[in-house]
């Protein structure tokens, strides 16, 4: 059951659903859980014989439901309850009982359960200059997510496509002992940065949550920044050029930013509590 059309729902927006394709099911489900602070619900899984049939179905889905696309920069979300969207697609002959499979949450390995699109901490990344990225969901709840590791470009550019709300990078942090080069001297500050992330999760979230990195409702950016500062982890200007020591290229980003070049700021909204009048700008 590799090639599927999935239908996801997020309890944060009961009247919406996300419909997309997966050629390696359940990979997209594994991926989706770190994009939102709420448990993703699988409302439907429909199998197809091959990638060509899957691609054709995806194209027709966009045509049939195009008028219901959720506004903003969210991707493949429709302002329709999942049941209604499925009914429309079944009526159009795109989905049917023949290829419907039981919509059960797949079993994932422990590494899969705690997967995060915005984290890279492997041995090959130990000498890079790591960061902690703080993201904010642009919803009434304003939920925060923290990720750590070597994925610098990813923090600035990678979209939260499985969240029905836009999500923005609102702050970036580094350890006070970080080295401005790809250097073994970064191994220890990176270890301390990871410990700081874990401490924040213990205090304000959960280390074992499948919604990896998301903090509890009501936690504020100021609380998090103060806890990180006590651990020698401090904010950096979000408009600074990509710094020496940052990873040169992330696999999830098609066009990387060169060292010394400015980062794109289209998904950035600096937190005024952390940056004040500077607005996330370099001094």
Give the least confident one: 90-104, 138-152, 225-239.
Answer: 90-104
The count of structural domains within the chain is 2
Residues 108 and 200 reside in one and the same domain: no
- Give the residue from 185, 124, 177 showing the smallest Cα distance to 150: 124
- Asked whether the predicted pLDDT for residue 50 surpasses 80, the reply is yes
What is the pLDDT confidence band of residue 6, given thresholds at 50, 70 and 90? very high
Tell me the average pLDDT across 221-227.
98
pLDDT-based confidence at 283, cuts 50/70/90? very low
Rounded distance between C-alpha atoms, residue 93 and residue 64, angstroms: 11
Give the global pTM: 0.94
Does residue 212 surpass a pLDDT of 70? Answer: yes
Q: In the predicted model, what is the mean pLDDT of residues 189-217?
A: 97
Q: What is the pLDDT of residue 209?
A: 94
* 80, 16 Cβ separation under 8 angstroms: yes
> Final residue of a domain: which of 81, 112, 143?
112
- Quick one: 123 and 254 in the same domain? yes
Task: Looking at 24-139, list the stretches that DSSP marks H as alpha helix, in order from N- to C-terminal side.
Answer: 27-32, 51-65, 82-91, 110-113
* Those residues with Cβ within 8 angstroms of residue 143's Cβ, 6 or more apart along the chain or in another chain: 37, 136, 137, 214, 215, 217
**Domain with 89 in it:** 4-112
The pLDDT confidence band at residue 282, using thresholds 50, 70 and 90, is low
Provide the pLDDT for residue 100.
76
Boundary-marking domain end, from 80, 112, 144? 112
């Amino acid at each position: 059951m590799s090639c599927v059309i999935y239908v996801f729902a997020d309890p944060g927006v009961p009247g919406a659903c996300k419909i997309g394709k997966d050629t390696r099911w359940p990979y997209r489900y594994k991926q989706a859980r770190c994009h939102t602070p709420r448990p993703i619900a699988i409302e439907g899984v429909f199998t197809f014989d091959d990638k060509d049939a899957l691609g054709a179905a995806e194209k027709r889905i966009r045509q049939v439901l195009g008028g219901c696309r959720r506004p903003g920069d969210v991707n493949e979300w429709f302002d329709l309850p999942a049941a209604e969207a499925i009914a429309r697609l079944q009526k159009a002959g795109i989905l049917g009982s023949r290829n419907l499979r039981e919509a059960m949450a797949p079993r994932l390995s422990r590494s899969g359960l705690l997967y995060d699109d915005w984290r890279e901490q492997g041995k090959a990344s130990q000498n890079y200059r790591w960061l902690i990225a703080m993201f904010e969901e642009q919803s009434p709840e304003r939920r925060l997510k923290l990720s750590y590791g070597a994925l610098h470009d990813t923090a600035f550019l990678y979209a939260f496509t499985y969240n029905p709300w836009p999500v923005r990078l609102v702050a970036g942090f580094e350890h006070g002992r970080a080295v401005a080069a790809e250097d073994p001297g970064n191994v220890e500050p990176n270890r301390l940065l990871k410990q700081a992330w874990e401490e924040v999760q213990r205090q304000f979230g959960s280390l074992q949550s499948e919604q990896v990195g998301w903090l509890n409702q009501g936690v504020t950016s100021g609380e998090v920044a103060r806890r990180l500062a006590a651990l020698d982890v401090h904010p950096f200007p979000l408009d600074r050029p990509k710094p020496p020591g940052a990873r040169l290229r992330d696999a999830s980003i098609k066009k990387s930013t060169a060292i010394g070049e400015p980062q794109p700021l289209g998904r950035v909204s600096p937190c005024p509590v952390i940056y004040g009048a500077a607005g996330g700008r370099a001094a």
